[in-house]
Chain A
Amino acid sequence: MKDFLLVFRTDYSTMPKASPEEMQASTKRWMDWIGGIAAQNKLVDRGNRLVPSGKIVKADNVIADGPYTEIKESIVGYSLVKANSVEEASELAKGCPILRIGGNVEVREISVL
């Protein structure tokens, strides 16, 4: 089995402001999805959510405000899973709640050095 990084992206500006009940429901959906992967023994690291702000560092040491704004979708978080192929890892990604709110999941294999 190989390790894969799942990168969750969505457009922060279109993310609806959630009520406490909606946040609770959303948390449950994430936990159920991650729990399901863990139950298949395919979870490597539940990962993290990222704070919406940040910075960009470039070679000439210019520091701009982040998150990376040249595309409208920002990275909101990541998780690590294991699978036999990128297709299998993509299957796991299909259950991700971010897809319901117009977001997407990038699936990338981690290099073995």
Chain B
Amino acid sequence: MLLFRGSDVYQPGQSPDALEALKEKMIHWLTDLSEKGVHVASEPLETTGKQVSGSRKTVTNGPFGEAKEVIGGCTIVQVRDMNEALEIAKGCPILESNASIEVRPIQKM
């Protein structure tokens, strides 16, 4: 699973052109992954959100974390090993916007 964090485009007040440009690049990147047969799923996220925490199940507003930690979306790929997943992550256009990508293997049950 590739989790995209902290991209500049998730910050409020971004130019719509920058957003569009990145979206275009992401779509190209994802289409490419589909054609290679490795793409499983992608979920782009709205910037708002809620958190539920504690045994009292308190609900607070906003996505989790500070600006650089906020998750903007995720993509799941199916590849042979971590190295292949990392190669794919390195090619993701979102890195151009100061984002980082957390790459985590999915646990087989």
Consensus secondary structure, chain B interface: mixed
Cα distance, A18 to B104, chains bound together (Å): 22
How far, in Å, is A94 (CB) from chain B's closest CB?
Answer: 4
Kindly list 15 other residue pairs between chains A and B, CB separation below 8 angstroms, not including A90-B50, A110-B46: A7-B64, A51-B107, A53-B105, A54-B103, A54-B104, A66-B103, A68-B69, A75-B3, A75-B102, A80-B43, A99-B52, A104-B64, A108-B48, A110-B44, A111-B46
What residues of chain A lie closer than 8 Å to B5, measured between beta carbons?
A: 68
Among A63, A68, A75, A93, the most chain B Cβ lie within 10 Å of the Cβ of A68
Cα distance, A20 to B23, chains bound together (Å): 46
Chain B positions within 8 Å of A, measured between CB atoms, are: 1, 3, 5, 23, 43-46, 48-55, 57, 59, 63-65, 68-69, 71, 73-74, 82, 86, 89-90, 92, 95-96, 98-107, 109
How far, in Å, is B105 (CB) from chain A's closest CB?
Answer: 4
Asked if A105 lies at the interface with its beta carbon under 8 angstroms from chain B, I say: yes
Cα distance, A105 to B85, chains bound together (Å): 26
What residues of chain B lie closer than 8 Å to A67, measured between beta carbons?
A: 102, 104
Known A57-B100, A94-B57: A49·B107 in contact at CB below 8 Å = yes
Consensus secondary structure, chain A interface: strand
Among B1, B57, B64, B104, the most chain A Cβ lie within 10 Å of the Cβ of B104
Known A48-B1, A59-B96, A71-B65: A107·B51 in contact at CB below 8 Å = yes
